[in-house]
Amino acid sequence: MSETTPIPAGDLPGAVRLRVAPSPTGDPHVGTAYMSMFDLAFARQQGGRFILRIEDTDRARLQADSEQQIYDTLRWLGLTWDEGPDVGGPCEPYRQSERLETYRPFVERLLAAGHAYHCWCSPERLTQMREQQQRRKQPTGYDRMCLGKTRDERAALPGCAQTPVVRMLIPDDVETSFVDLIAGRIDAPVPDDQVILKADGFPTYHLAVVVDDHLMGITHVVRGQEWISSTPKHLLLYRWLGLEPPHFAHMPLLRDEKKAKISKRKNPWARLTWFRENGYLPEALVNFLALQGYPPIVADNGTEREVFTFDEFAQRFEWSKVNPAGSMFNLDKLDWLNGVWMRELEVGDFACRLLPFLEADCVLSDNPSLGELARLRSVAALIQSRMVKLTEATDLVAPFFLSDDMIVIADDARAQLDDRSAEVIDAALAVLGDIDDHGRGLLGSESDWSAERIQSCLREAIVEGLGVKARVAFGPLRTAVSGRRISPPLFESMEILGKTSTLNRLQALRETL
């Protein structure tokens, strides 16, 4: 691969080529998924390629497990890439730390052409310089002490380091205006002499991103608005190196309720892993992230629809419709979307998605029996419409997998019991004890132990027989069966538990009254 000749677009697959380039410096940021979604949508729509590149040149902040987390979370969301460190591709390697020999020739070209220079200023000297600029209320930026000096000349001055960095030499007449796919013409701030090669021999983001995007044939760069100020530097590097720049699309920032840019330090949900841990569906999160920068889908009849699939989003995607202002990251809206998507799942799929949370909470083992899976499916059908997040499953499901003597009555459930609770439970025990719970008999009759029969008998015995109001008649029974004040539908729960467990739990509560 030549570092001097741009790769013809026809030599690389894909009508367009887009990339996401996260740094493995901790839990993946939700912004990585946000950018990936727009990258992938446009690539799929245009018959292009989506590339994952790992920008691991910040060695001080590198975390060993972070790269795998990036793979795992993006795949969980269905945002899969065509080329990357783990899948290979025509532009290997896809980790910047494995491409160090690639960048040096570009640095040498910039030095030889006078577009860059060595800087020996120590970190302490640079800190003092910035502090003085701030005290004088001057714009902060490098003061070019090293420009035009040899190593020996600079060594005679204070604050000289042993190993130099390389800085861009920004011309006085630098063009700071550029065209953005989303915002149109943008006027960016005047840049300073940016470091492009660090003392440890690693390139900075600004050089590496230009070189890698060029060599990987990237046609469209999608990134956050915080990078607008860097774009003039990147365009300068493209021009100085004789390379064709890509199109730029600067996405609106993800902001919290105070309209501040979200960060992992301040917002736990800025971590992409947080959403999986807290029981959100990947379909709902992708849908939600699309709405952070894009309007609802407009149906053929003109009505707006906020719930849509990634494929629908990709089919209708247009850069001109991205809202530069973005929107607030509203977790209540995400909860609503998650509930909608959850109710759309086929019950078997829904039950499968509950399993990791139930296993983590020791409700089920990591190898449940066929009988346990069948019971879980029955329970899932009862609770699917009542849940917002998968993490809510344990409280609702656990009573169906506990032995009868392990049911613990919650304080708020016991608090609602009254003077008639014992009478209600006695009536229930009597009437439920008479229901036949055997299987198909000699004459072909099925068991009477069904939700419909249970409900009919209990209403007749308690509501009509004891005169207890229907809205409170079954509270003691719910408490006995589940141990909770709020539970899945009572009669269906009793059917799933079976006659023996139901009577055992009713009797256990009765003995405490």
- In order, the DSSP letters of 327-360 are -B--HHHHHHHHHHHHHHS-HHHHHHHHHHHHHH
Long-range contacts of 448-455 (CB under 8 A, 24+ apart): 449/495, 449/498, 449/499, 450/495, 451/489, 451/491, 451/492, 451/494, 451/495, 452/491, 454/491, 454/494, 454/495, 455/491
Residue 86 makes CB contacts below 8 A (sequence gap 6+) with: 71
pLDDT confidence of residue 447 = 76
Choice among 7-11, 28-32, 70-74, 380-384 with the minimum mean pLDDT: 7-11
Question: pLDDT tier at 3 (50, 70, 90 boundaries)?
Answer: very low
pLDDT confidence of residue 427 = 97
Choice among 53-57, 104-108, 341-345, 504-508 with the minimum mean pLDDT: 53-57
H or E element, residue 197: strand 195-197
100-112 and 205-215 are packed helices; what angle lies between their axes, rounded to 10 degrees? Answer: 110
Give Dmax over CA atoms of the chain in angstroms: 108
Selected from 1.10.10.350, 3.40.50.10890, 1.10.238.10, 1.20.210.10, the CATH number assigned to the domain covering 406-510 reads 1.10.10.350
331-344 and 282-293 are packed helices; what angle lies between their axes, rounded to 10 degrees? Answer: 140
User: Reduced to 3 states, what is the DSSP secondary structure of residue 313?
Assistant: helix
* Token pair 């629908």: residue: 312
Task: Measure the CA–CA gap between 326 and 253, rounded to whole angstroms.
Answer: 7
For residue 126, which of 97, 146, 155 has the smallest C-alpha distance?
A: 146
- To the nearest whole number, what is the mean pLDDT of the chain? 93
Alpha helices by DSSP H, listed for 272-322, are 272-277, 282-293, 310-316
Mean pLDDT along residues 297-302: 85
**Strand pairing category for 184-187 and 177-180:** antiparallel
For residue 483, which of 378, 401, 391, 412 has the smallest C-alpha distance?
A: 412
Instruction: Specify whether the CB–CB gap between 489 and 381 falls below 8 A.
Output: no
Choice among 165-179, 238-252, 297-311, 436-450 with the minimum mean pLDDT: 436-450
Q: Return the number of other C-beta atoms located less than 10 Å from residue 309's C-beta.
A: 15
Ordered strands of the 247-251 beta sheet: 49-52, 17-20, 220-224, 247-251, 177-180, 184-187
Handedness of CA 360, 361, 362, 365 (dihedral sign): negative
H or E element, residue 372: helix 370-383
In this predicted model, what pLDDT tens digit does every residue of 352-376 receive, in sequence order?
999 999 999 999 999 999 999 999 9
pLDDT confidence of residue 440 = 41
**Strand pairing category for 49-52 and 17-20:** parallel
Residue 56 makes CB contacts below 8 A (sequence gap 6+) with: 23, 24, 62, 67, 95, 96, 97
273-399 and 406-510 in the same fold: no
In this predicted model, what pLDDT tens digit does every residue of 129-155 receive, in sequence order?
999 999 999 989 999 999 999 999 999
pLDDT confidence of residue 10 = 59
H or E element, residue 195: strand 195-197
Burial-class residue 87 by CB neighbours within 10 Å (0-12, 13-18, 19+).
Answer: middle
Selected from 1.10.3370.10, 1.10.1160.10, 1.10.8.60, 1.10.286.10, the CATH number assigned to the domain covering 273-399 reads 1.10.1160.10
Burial-class residue 260 by CB neighbours within 10 Å (0-12, 13-18, 19+).
Answer: exposed
pLDDT confidence of residue 444 = 42
Instruction: Specify whether the CB–CB gap between 52 and 94 falls below 8 A.
Output: yes
Question: pLDDT tier at 333 (50, 70, 90 boundaries)?
Answer: very high
Annotated active-site residue in 264, 266, 333, 469? 264
In this predicted model, what pLDDT tens digit does every residue of 385-414 receive, in sequence order?
999 999 999 999 999 999 999 999 999 999
What does the radius of gyration of the chain's CA atoms come to, in whole angstroms?
32
How far from the centroid of its chain's Cα atoms is residue 487's Cα? 30
Angle among Cα 83, 84, 85 to the nearest 5 degrees reads: 145
Task: Measure the CA–CA gap between 112 and 170, rounded to whole angstroms.
Answer: 15
Q: Is 469 a catalytic residue?
A: no
Q: Can you list the positions of beta strands (E) in 384-461?
A: none
Question: Where along the chain do its domains lie?
Answer: 273-399, 406-510
Q: Tokens for 281?
A: 């569906």
* Token pair 């800085």: residue: 167
pLDDT of 4 strictly over 70: no
Mean pLDDT along residues 210-224: 97
What percentage of the chain has pLDDT greater than the value 90? 87
pLDDT confidence of residue 164 = 98
